[in-house]
Amino acid sequence: MTRRTFIAGASALAVAPLGAARALGQVPASGQVDVVIVGAGAAGISAARKVAAAGRSYALIEASKRVGGRAFTDTSLFGVPFDRGAHWLHAPDNNPLAELGTQAGFDLYAPPQGARLYIKGREASQSDYEDFVSAVRRGERAIGAAGDAGRDFAASRVLPDLGIWGPSAAFVAGPFSCAKDLDQVSSVDFSRSEERGEDLFCRQGYGALVAKMAEGLSVRFETTAASVDMGGRLVQVSTNKGTLSGRAVILAVPPSLLLAGKIRVNPGLPLRYRSAVERITLGAYDHIAFELPGNPLRLSPDETVHVKADGPRTFALVARMGGTDLHMLEVGGKFAQDLADGPATSGAAFLKEALTREFGADIAARVGKVHHTRWTKEPLALGAFSCALPGSGNLRRAFTEVVNGRLMFAGEHAHETLWGTVNGAWLSGERAATQALRVLGVMGAASISQ
């Protein structure tokens, strides 16, 4: 088994060659532009590239000191590329970032297909593995069937009795795939996500690839949007560094920031869009990254390991990332939130507990440096990625619509079938830019290449 992935559907938007956005759509000295883009993650970057390619002016503002958002490669912590957020490059045959990354010279490679399964320190037998895979597939099929039939329930409500493999299947379908326990997952939203496919990893880091895509764009860093006012002739975006005016605005930020009141829309969003913000919420998904020298578990580079779960305190392991000594323990859902809410040592403590329980105290004793990401505590994210709450699967469509003729949403939450993925965020940015260009009266906006 590998992590549930999402295969991109066909897109009417053209994929741009790297660098096509350079020197286009430069921001004028004044505060008025054609399009204001809030957030320089994957969605904001792709939106800016498309607006720039159309020769229109834009202001791409970013509250932090870097681009990429939840796709962020850190090389300082462990001395090797470590993706603090997104790591899996899903469905490369239909993922524009795979082509763009290859063109830019990034080393994209396939990790081992499938995954190992361990049961209390021993590798599972063939029959155990077959039972595990069968349980996961039965669980996912049941949830998907309910959603396909329009029965928008909590996914846990339609999960069949899977016996001793129930907790393992619930982890794979829920926290590992949706960043939420299944009682917080809409069966309709689950069913609309595309089925799993092959993945690629980026040796230099997925975040590094996304950051490369911003080269040539003008980005205003440490510029925090506080409000978006749509009451006048132009949209006014108030920031800590003044006010920007535009004919259209793209909000390429997580809905969690709107829900927390960090960015206000005036006058308030219509009910349909407020409901989407309230119900398409970000879950918890974190890496507990650690050094384990010498490969004592004898695992292949980038191999995924599942363990037989007895309850919610479980994980998946991604081993020897890029062939290094860096490993990641993957946790999600309520358990990940509990760890994030705990003391600074909570991730390292669970790591020691988990390795001791599954592989022995001698393995746990060999662990070197540890870093626990806490995406629900990151002030510019407040979560890992989105999944609709039960009864709200149909609300995601609201994020793909134009609000009051000039506000568009972009981000992984704003793609109906590729939510939770960087490619979904990228494609949503292109879609939002196309909508903005239409607002500006650009003919044939959908066919404009970046």
**Rg value, the chain, Cα:** 22
Question: What is the structure's pLDDT at 16?
Answer: 34
Kindly give, in sequence order, each residue whose CB lies less than 8 Å from that of residue 252, ignoring residues fewer than 6 positions away: 37, 38, 39, 40, 41, 43, 44, 47, 409, 410, 411, 429, 432
Question: What is the structure's pLDDT at 121?
Answer: 83
- Render pLDDT for 171-225 as a digit per residue (tens, 0 to 9): 999 999 999 999 999 999 999 998 656 899 999 999 999 999 999 999 999 999 9
Maximum CA pair distance of the chain?
68
- How far apart are alpha carbons 158 and 393 in whole angstroms? 15
- How far apart are alpha carbons 439 and 266 in whole angstroms? 19
- How far apart are alpha carbons 90 and 42 in whole angstroms? 14
Kindly give, in sequence order, each residue whose CB lies less than 8 Å from that of residue 237, ignoring residues fewer than 6 positions away: 36, 38, 59, 61, 225, 227, 228, 229, 243, 244, 245, 246, 249
pTM metric for this prediction: 0.92
Report the pLDDT averaged over residues 139-161.
Answer: 97
- How far apart are alpha carbons 420 and 414 in whole angstroms? 10
- Secondary structure (3-state) at 388: strand
Question: Is 418's pLDDT higher than 80?
Answer: yes
Confidence bin at 113 (pLDDT 50/70/90): confident
Question: What is the structure's pLDDT at 444?
Answer: 66
Closest to 380 in 3D by CA, of 71, 73, 63, 61: 63
Q: Is the dihedral of CA 88, 427, 217, 85 positive or negative?
A: negative
- How far apart are alpha carbons 198 and 182 in whole angstroms? 24
SS3 content of the chain, % helix, strand, coil (to 5): 35, 20, 45
- Render pLDDT for 33-53 as a digit per residue (tens, 0 to 9): 999 999 999 999 999 999 999
- How far apart are alpha carbons 60 and 172 in whole angstroms? 37
